[in-house]
Amino acid sequence: MKTSRLSLAVIAGAAVFLCFVIQAADGANPDPKPTTPQESRTPATSGNGLANPIPSVEIQEPSGELSLRQALGLAFARNPDLAAFSWEVRSGDARILQAGLIPNPELGVEFENFLGSEPSRRFETLETTLSISQLVELGGKRAARIGLASSEKEVSLWDYEAKRADVAAEVAKSFVEVLSAQDRLALAEELAHLSKEVLNSVAARVVAGKISPVEETKASVAWSISGIDLERAKLALEGARKRLAATWGSASPVFSKAVGQLDRLTPIPPLEVLADRISRNPDVARWAAEIEQRRAVLAQDCAERIPNVTISAGIRRFRELEDTTFVAGATIPLPLFNRNQGKILESQYRISKAEREREAAGNKVLAALSDTYQALASGYVEATTLKVAVLPGAQSAFEATSEGFRQGKFGYLEVLDAQRTLFEAIR
C-alpha cells in the first residue's frame, strides 16, 4: 500500500513538473481569446474596420413605402448568402482556439521480464514501469499556428466584404428595376388613358361626319394595344418586386411601393478620383490579407524545421528486489535529412504568386472601372439631353397636336405620331 501511494505521488509530481516545463517552453504563446459576437442592429467591425458578419436584430420589411436604404438594411440582415458568413467567422474563431491548444500528455505502462525461461518463467522478475510523457513544441510552432488561423479568419472577413458589396450592387440594381417598372406602369396607364381620350374624340368627330370611320377603327386598335402594354407593365412590375424581395430571402414582397427619383441627375466624379479608390475594393484589398496568410504558412513551415522534444518521467518497480526507482528520459528527432525544405520553398513561391495575383486583380478592376465609367458618362450625356431638350419638346409637340386635332387642324396620324414620340422619349 505504501508503495502504491508512493507511485501515485511520484506520478503526480511528474505531472506538475511537466506542466511547469511546458509553460516555460511556450510562455510566449498565450491562449487565444476568441471574440464573442454581440448582436447589434449595425454590423460589428473587426480590427481593420471590416464589417463582422454576425447576426443582427431581426429587421422587418415595411408594409408601406420602401427606400433604397431600407432595402439595403434588409438585405444585409437577412440575405441567405451573407447569413452563412456568420458561421464561417465562428469557424475561424474555433480554428484560433484549436491552434492555441498544447498536445495532450501520454500515460504509459510497461511490463518486462516475465513469462520467459528460468528464472523469469513466471512473474518473480517482473519489472513494471509507469510513466507520463509530454511533447514540448519548440521553435514557436504554437504561435505560428495561431497566426495562421488568425490570418485565415482575416481573409474570410474580406471575402464577406466582397460578398456584401455584391449583394449591395444586386439590391441597388433590383431597386432601380422596381422604380423603372413603376414608372413604366404609370406611363402605360397614362398612355391607355390618353388613347381612350383620343378614341372618344375620334368617335365624336366620326359621329359629326368630319372624319372617316376608319380613323375610329385605328384609334380603337391603338387603345387595345395600350391595354396590352398596361397588362405587360403590371406583370413586369410584379416580377421586379419579387426579384428585389428575394435579395433579403423573401418569396413575396410586402412593401407597397419603392420610393426614389430616377430623373435626378448627379454629376459624375472624375475617373482619377474613382481610380484612387480601387485599393479599397474588396476584390483588391483582400489580397493583402491573402499574402499575410501565405506568410503565416511560411512561418509555420519554418517553425516545423525545429524538432520537438518529448520528455518523460515515471517510476519502475522491481518485484524481485522489492524496490522502486525513478526513471526519466527525453527524445528528440535528428533533422539530418528532412528539414521541411520543400514546404518552405513551396510557401515562398506561393507568396510570390499571390503578389502577382494582387497586381492582376488591381488591373482587372481598373479595366472594369474604365469601361463602366465610359458607359456611365455616355448615359449621363444622353439623360441630360433627354431631360433638357427632348422631353420638353416632345411634350409641347404632343399637347399642340392634340389641341389641333380637337380643332380639326391635324389628322389622327399626326396625333398618333406625336404621342409615340413622347412616350418613346419618356421610356
18-23 long-range contacts, CB within 8 A, separation 24+: 18/105, 18/132, 18/134, 18/311, 18/313, 21/134, 21/136, 21/311, 22/102, 22/134, 22/136
CATH of domain 41-102+137-305+340-426: 1.20.1600.10
Placement of cell 427632348 in the chain = 390
Give the pLDDT confidence score for residue 169 in this predicted structure: 92
CA atoms within 13 A on the CB side of 371: 6
Tell me the pLDDT tens digit for each residue of 2-36.
444 444 444 444 444 444 444 444 443 434 443 33
Return the C-alpha cell found at 263.
Answer: 430623373
Considering the entire predicted model, what is its pTM?
A: 0.71
Tell me the pLDDT tens digit for each residue of 313-352.
999 998 878 889 999 999 999 999 999 999 999 999 999 9
Return the C-alpha cell found at 387.
Answer: 431631360
Instruction: Give me the mean pLDDT over the 111-124 stretch.
Output: 72
Placement of cell 387642324 in the chain = 409
Domain ranges of the chain: 1-30+106-136+306-338, 41-102+137-305+340-426
Comparing 340 with 264, the larger pLDDT belongs to 340
Q: 1-30+106-136+306-338, what's its fold? A: Outer membrane efflux proteins (OEP) (2.20.200)
